[in-house]
Amino acid sequence: MLGHCLARDFANGQYFFFEPLESLAEHLAATFGPNRDVRDPKRYAEMDVVTLLDVLEHREDDLAFLQDLAARLRPGCTLIITVPALPSLWSAWDELLGHHRRYTRGALGRVLRACRLEIVVQHYLFPELLPLAYLRKVMSPAQGGAAAEGRSEFPAVPPLVNAGLYALGRIIFPLSRLAPAGTSLFAVTRLPQHGVEGRKCRA
């Protein structure tokens, strides 16, 4: 989806990807070309903008992971991050997806600043989905079991409900910077012009 949006809205932009799931990586390579696969970390320094969309929560040591990535990017590179928000929303669903944590705004900010990333924008996303998220937590199955495995995917939503939620999201999104909570966190960060190579993250 990101690659298609980039092609639609930024004609001069080039989309590159690194996808650990082989089946999805093959699909992306077939769609955008195998030369867009940047599995070689040496190529990270070519990027002007890097996105980590729901990645950090899957890393046991998010500080070390982010430090290693930042050291490979060029000075001034923009790093866009989304993560699941609010530990109070933690449920068996997170465990099934392989999450290690959900973040508060303060917790994510501490990780970013510890790695000396300049925070340009940081705010919650999807406050309108909080009631549904808490409902999912209440209805979440116990850890393990075939039934639980089947509930690890996002539930199917009727088209009319999906269209309504999409329309509501478009209305609320411009105000999301003011939201005190949401189901996800969004951050735009920038590497300092002198870079972070050779520096350690501070916990």
Of 46, 68, 48, give the one whose Cα is nearest residue 59.
Answer: 68
Confidence band of 123 (pLDDT split at 50, 70, 90): very high
126 φψ region: left (φ > 0), alpha (ψ -120 to 50), beta (else): left
Distance of CA 77 to CAs 46, 74, 153, 190, Å?
9, 6, 33, 6
Euclidean distance between CA atoms 79 and 76, whole angstroms: 9
Of 81, 92, 41, give the one whose Cα is nearest residue 57.
Answer: 81
Q: Look at residue 58 and tell me whether its pLDDT is greater than 90.
A: yes
pLDDT at 147: 42
Highest mean pLDDT among 57-61, 92-96, 199-203: 57-61
Q: Look at residue 131 and tell me whether its pLDDT is greater than 60.
A: yes
Distance of CA 84 to CAs 30, 68, 95, Å?
29, 21, 13
Euclidean distance between CA atoms 67 and 26, whole angstroms: 28
Residues 30-46 have pLDDT tens digits of: 888 888 888 888 888 98
Confidence band of 5 (pLDDT split at 50, 70, 90): low
CB atoms inside a 10 Å sphere around CB 67: 20
pLDDT at 144: 46
